[in-house]
Amino acid sequence: MQIIFIGPPGSGKGTQAKRLANRLEIPHISTGDILREAVADGTELGQQAAPIMAAGALVPDDLMIGIINDRLAKDDAANGFILDGFPRTLVQAEKLDGIVGNGNEALRVLQLLVPDDAIVRRITLRRTCAQCGAIYHLENNPPASGTVCDRCGAEVIARPDDNEEAVRKRLEAFHRQTLPVATFYKAKSILREVDGIGPVDVVFERIEKSLQ
């Protein structure tokens, strides 16, 4: 299966994509995680992306397309993958068609629907493991110890772009640049809309049902 998650920032793409990837035993490819790793490693890509991400804007298409082209060419993606955060613009969606094949019958697109007013609270209370990327929420799903990751024991931190100002910019970018991508896939009849409000387990059940 080749699955794309589309949704506004904080809609639960990362939470659900990790879980689905475990269930289906296919890689979870998050462009946000790839960029954050590049920033942490201080690579040229990371230095270029860091200020753009912190401001809540989108990294240029040509950089993102190059990243995905290389990642999907790896062996572990041959039997399927989950894309989380890509494509985010129409240019990226069209290029992805060229990579996976236009009319590819294995491709499914899941759009998580969460209204803007729920987003800011989700994101400003999100905490992420600095090492393994596990996602927490201070109210809904806090780490047991409060400050370290339940899974690997590393520090649990707030992302630099998880402040209210950047979140509002990310939401604006989603509405302007990414919603047309959902329309693009709707026209191909491969888009499934999933209500993203409710407990994480319930949203996951909806996702599984929509893929049947």
Q: Is 95 in the site for ligand AP5 (CB under 6 A)?
A: no
The beta strands (E) that lie in the chain are given as: 2-6, 28-30, 81-84, 107-113, 126-129, 135-137, 156-157, 191-195
Find out whether 65 and 71 touch, Cβ atoms under 8 Å: no
Dmax (CA) for the chain in angstroms is: 48
Among 135, 154, 158, 211, binds ligand AP5 (CB under 6 A): 135
Asked about 209 being catalytic, the answer comes back as: no
- For residues 201 and 134, give the distance between their C-alpha atoms in angstroms, rounded to a whole number: 16
Q: How many residues form the binding site for ligand AP5 (CB under 6 A)?
A: 35
Q: Which is nearer to ligand AP5, 3 or 122 (CB)?
A: 122
Q: Is 137 in the site for ligand AP5 (CB under 6 A)?
A: yes
Q: Is 141 in the site for ligand AP5 (CB under 6 A)?
A: yes
Asked about 126 being catalytic, the answer comes back as: yes
Q: Is 204 in the site for ligand AP5 (CB under 6 A)?
A: no
Find out whether 185 and 100 touch, Cβ atoms under 8 Å: no
Q: Which one of the listed residues 18, 19, 36, 88 is annotated catalytic?
A: 88
Q: Is the dihedral of CA 165, 166, 171, 173 positive or negative?
A: positive
Q: Is 12 in the site for ligand AP5 (CB under 6 A)?
A: yes
Residue nearest to ligand AP5 (CB): 32
Name every residue whose Cβ is closer than 8 Å to that of residue 169 and which is 6 or more positions away in sequence. Answer: 55, 56, 57
Q: Is 143 in the site for ligand AP5 (CB under 6 A)?
A: no
Which of 35, 30, 27 shows the shortest CA–CA distance to 2?
27
Q: Is 203 in the site for ligand AP5 (CB under 6 A)?
A: yes
Among 47, 69, 79, 140, binds ligand AP5 (CB under 6 A): 140
Q: Is 85 in the site for ligand AP5 (CB under 6 A)?
A: yes
Q: Residue 169: exposed, middle, or buried by beta-carbon count in 10 A (0-12, 13-18, 19+)?
A: middle
53 backbone dihedrals φ, ψ, rounded to 5°: -65, -45
Shortest Cβ distance from residue 109 to ligand AP5 (Å)?
A: 14
Asked about 71 being catalytic, the answer comes back as: no
Name residue, tokens 């509405």. Answer: 175
* Residues labelled as active-site residues: 13, 88, 126, 159, 170
Contact residues toward ligand AP5 (CB under 6 A) are: 7, 9-15, 31-32, 35, 52-53, 56-59, 64, 85-86, 88, 92, 122-123, 126, 135-137, 140-141, 161, 170, 198, 200, 203
